[in-house]
């Protein structure tokens, strides 16, 4: 006999026919053998864009791509790609198993943790994926989620005795005067801890540039008032636009460290960047000259917030 004009077939074939009919098409092929297929490049791109570069496990802050641009995360299947895998679903096709809807990005530890299928069934992982991707599907929301005040992680190293500063700069300070000067320097260090790194780096670059041209009309280094340098000089030396220089100097002004003002060049007033005095003395002029004499880089003070080079170095 025939069935719908076809030779009689096994019950398995008829079942496949009815399943195909119910899906709106006729599939006369046998069920495909489960096989792991690599995700398509477009799928990986979609997963990464929706990940926020973070593991999808709740509250995990591990990056999926490190600072060198290397992918260090893992592509995880909600329902396994192969038989005997976690949460394997025999009703899925191989294409469905490698689709973005069945994949999520996680760090290695959480990938292994979710191998516990009783604690992490399909429904739980789908919820993880949905909630995570909803947070990071919009770039502006992703940025807000990952905002960090990096100045909170800065670890400063205050000066102790200024013995090396006293020797290098031939200041002839007694113990009491050195301690008082150290206290002034460290009070300034407390302010620097709240200043973003880019602004501190700009500060260091400016004070060293002033030292380099201090005997030219482009810079002024009075003993008791603030240092100044022409913006036109900084534009050429740093290869920055005037707008960028003013923006950086204005940021220094918001912390009382520097700013923008006019400088009398003898012929006319020209826009300049100034570095403020601290507690009545020109601290950064002193530190810049110390750096030149001792070969200590200015970044040690401005970038690393390490003022211990002003002390006597440890004995070898």
Task: Assess if residue 3 is contained within a domain.
Answer: no
How large is the angle between the packed helices 283-294 and 175-192, nearest 10 degrees? 100
Number of compact structural domains in the chain: 2
Q: Are residues 159 and 93 in the same domain?
A: no
Residue 115: Cβ within 10 Å count: 12
Task: Assess if residue 315 is contained within a domain.
Answer: no
Residue 106: Cβ within 10 Å count: 26
Spatial distance between the Cα atoms of 256 and 274, rounded to a whole number of angstroms: 11
Over the stretch 218-234, which tens digit does the pLDDT of each residue have?
Answer: 999 987 789 999 999 99
Q: Are residues 84 and 185 in the same domain?
A: no
Of the residues 100, 125, 145, the one at which a domain ends: 145
Over the stretch 74-110, which tens digit does the pLDDT of each residue have?
Answer: 999 999 999 999 999 999 999 999 999 999 999 999 9
Q: Are residues 140 and 158 in the same domain?
A: no
- The mean pLDDT of the chain is 86
Over the stretch 37-56, which tens digit does the pLDDT of each residue have?
Answer: 999 999 999 999 888 899 99
Q: Are residues 110 and 232 in the same domain?
A: no
Q: Are residues 31 and 158 in the same domain?
A: no
Beta bridge partners of residue 281, listed in sequence order? 278
Residue 203's domain comprises: 153-310
Q: Are residues 118 and 244 in the same domain?
A: no
Sign of the CA dihedral 129, 132, 135, 137? negative
Over the stretch 236-255, which tens digit does the pLDDT of each residue have?
Answer: 999 999 999 999 999 999 99
DSSP 244-313: HHHHHHHHHHHTTSEEEEEEE-SSSEEEEEEE--BTTB-HHHHHHHHHHHH---THHHHTT-B-GGGSPP
Q: Residue 135: its pLDDT value, please?
A: 80
Q: What is the pTM of this model?
A: 0.56
Q: Are residues 157 and 263 in the same domain?
A: yes
Spatial distance between the Cα atoms of 290 and 310, rounded to a whole number of angstroms: 9
Beta bridge partners of residue 104, listed in sequence order? 76
Task: Assess if residue 163 is contained within a domain.
Answer: yes
Over the stretch 101-155, which tens digit does the pLDDT of each residue have?
Answer: 999 999 999 999 999 999 999 999 999 999 998 887 766 665 556 666 666 767 8
Spatial distance between the Cα atoms of 286 and 173, rounded to a whole number of angstroms: 14
């Amino acid at each position: 006999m025939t069935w719908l004009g076809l030779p009689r077939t096994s019950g398995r074939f008829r079942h496949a026919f009815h399943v195909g009919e119910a899906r709106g098409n006729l599939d006369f092929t046998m069920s495909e053998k489960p096989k792991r297929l690599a995700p398509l490049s477009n799928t990986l791109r979609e997963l990464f864009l929706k990940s926020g570069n973070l593991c999808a496990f709740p509250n995990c802050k591990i990056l999926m791509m490190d600072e060198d641009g290397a992918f260090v995360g893992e592509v995880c299947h909600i329902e396994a790609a192969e038989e005997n895998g976690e949460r394997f679903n025999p009703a899925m096709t191989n294409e469905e198993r490698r689709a973005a809807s069945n994949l999520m990005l996680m760090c290695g530890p959480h990938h292994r943790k979710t191998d516990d299928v009783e604690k992490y069934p399909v429904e739980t992982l789908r919820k993880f994926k949905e909630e995570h991707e909803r947070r990071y599907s919009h770039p502006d929301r992703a940025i807000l989620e990952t905002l960090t005040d990096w100045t909170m992680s800065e670890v400063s190293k205050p000066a102790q005795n200024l013995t090396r500063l006293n020797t290098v700069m031939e200041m002839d300070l007694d113990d009491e005067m050195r301690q008082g000067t150290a206290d002034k320097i460290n009070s300034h260090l407390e302010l620097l801890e709240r200043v973003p790194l880019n602004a501190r780096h700009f500060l260091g670059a400016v004070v060293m540039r002033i030292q380099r041209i201090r005997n030219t009309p482009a810079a002024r280094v009075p003993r008791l008032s603030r240092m100044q340098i022409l913006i036109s000089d900084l534009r050429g030396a740093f290869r920055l636009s005037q707008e960028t220089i003013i923006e950086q100097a204005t940021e220094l002004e918001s912390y009382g460290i520097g700013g923008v003002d006019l400088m009398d060049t003898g012929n006319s007033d020209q826009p300049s960047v100034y570095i403020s005095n601290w507690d009545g003395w020109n601290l950064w002029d002193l530190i810049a000259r110390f750096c030149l004499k001792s070969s200590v880089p200015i970044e040690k003070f401005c970038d690393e917030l390490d003022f211990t080079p002003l002390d006597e170095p440890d004995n070898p």
